[in-house]
Chains A and B, each alone.
Chain A
């Protein structure tokens, strides 16, 4: 697989693989891929004030987790609800077909904020 420079940056230099004080969190596991992603968010006034992830799995899951965090940080949760796989792919510059594993971090984020009524 040829990875873009953008992808390499996300994978090699993830800024959001960190520990934060969070208010919400959720985990998504794709057992058949061996992928596991946990997203942590600190939410104030429907805004994502801080975000972080932990992931173990393939390079695409790690890069997608970082991409989701970069896209989501500082945004309103209504914006998060509009995000889809295509946005993540754009952010990652990764367009190879298949690889449903890249959906995992976005799923985890949506799950984490699902209990919040806006």
Chain B
């Protein structure tokens, strides 16, 4: 059996979606800026896609949707673009401690450019505290970026309350959220969240890699980070990746169609999985929150006395593919910052395993995973010099 439980990193492209992409690669392959009819058809499809995505997040118009190569680019355009364009208003930026790596790198780049960055901590379940945010706001604050759902520990951030706090300020503070783990999994409403910018990545919901979008609320002052031919959109030069965009649209339609039932099914499955692991394996710690505050797409456990890369590799040999927060699995050899951010120690980070589902994950797969997990954990514990109580 092959079970892919690393869906937070990427998902498979659904056949229905691949079909759409294939069609736009080989049949409707024209560029939307051509003068001829086939190009015009593509232009119309692209415009409809823009409107579809706008509607799917309750934005006002398709013009607020900027297609990108994915969430990393979206995050770059949003944060660097807003920071540079609003520098005359202030040089202070606030991010959370659980941001995606790209946001972290962007923040340190901006520091080099003379911006000040406040990283607000998270509590031991992975939530930011609103009073920390309020305290961090200064007159020079121009942008707040908070991830919608923590991608390691699954905490759903209080976007609505953050938006509320920011809108109460006497000066304009732009609000960006990286919604890579939220879009097409939860209902998303940019008006309810009061966000100005939102990053989305296609390959997290069964669309191809290399495509995503950025919601940019009308009136947002933003500078491009790349320059080139004026295409659809001045904010992002270069021809649109139409096949991938159309594939992303199909993927989003399919996901959103069943969004509520997917959520409730996964919620049950998640509880079942957590219960089973906690009752059948000793010395496990659930990283991140329990219940409603956690995305049902994510479970993250630390297994004490053993190391995560060894666990994930052993599981992979049994056909179960997961991610680990162990330093040994990272190119930089650093333990997972999210586990450290929620107060975990290095051992907990090294021993952490992230299981992330998609809406097709089944109970049989969970049962199989738990069985294999039990044997892998007990085998690795047998060979470990560290034992419980030592």
**Which residues on A are within 8 Å of B, measured CB to CB?**
1-3
Classify the secondary structure of B's interface with A. Answer: helix
- The closest CB in chain A to the CB of B40 belongs to A2
Q: How far is the CA of A3 from the CA of B41 in the complex (A)?
A: 11
A-B contact pairs, 7 of them (CB 8 A): A1-B35, A1-B40, A2-B37, A2-B40, A2-B41, A2-B44, A3-B37
B36-51 CB contact bits vs A (8 Å, 1 = yes)? 0100110010000000
Total number of A-B contacts with CB less than 8 angstroms?
7
Distance from A16 Cβ to chain B, minimum over Cβ atoms (Å): 25
B contact residues around A3 at 8 Å (CB): 37
Q: How far is the CA of A2 from the CA of B40 in the complex (A)?
A: 6
Q: How far is the CA of A3 from the CA of B36 in the complex (A)?
A: 10
A contact residues around B44 at 8 Å (CB): 2
A contact residues around B40 at 8 Å (CB): 1-2
Q: How far is the CA of A1 from the CA of B40 in the complex (A)?
A: 6
Distance from A97 Cβ to chain B, minimum over Cβ atoms (Å): 14
B112-130 CB contact bits vs A (8 Å, 1 = yes)? 0000000000000000000
The 3 closest A-B pairs by CB, nearest first: A2-B40, A1-B40, A2-B37
Q: How far is the CA of A109 from the CA of B50 in the complex (A)?
A: 42
Residues from 19 to 46 in B contacting A, C-beta threshold 8 Å: 35, 37, 40-41, 44
Q: How far is the CA of A2 from the CA of B45 in the complex (A)?
A: 13
Residues from 200 to 245 in B contacting A, C-beta threshold 8 Å: none
- The closest CB in chain A to the CB of B36 belongs to A1
A contact residues around B41 at 8 Å (CB): 2
Distance from A95 Cβ to chain B, minimum over Cβ atoms (Å): 14
A contact residues around B37 at 8 Å (CB): 2-3
Distance from B241 Cβ to chain A, minimum over Cβ atoms (Å): 22
Q: How far is the CA of A2 from the CA of B30 in the complex (A)?
A: 14
B contact residues around A1 at 8 Å (CB): 35, 40
Distance from B99 Cβ to chain A, minimum over Cβ atoms (Å): 42
- The closest CB in chain B to the CB of A8 belongs to B37
- The closest CB in chain B to the CB of A1 belongs to B40
B contact residues around A2 at 8 Å (CB): 37, 40-41, 44
A contact residues around B35 at 8 Å (CB): 1
- The closest CB in chain A to the CB of B43 belongs to A2
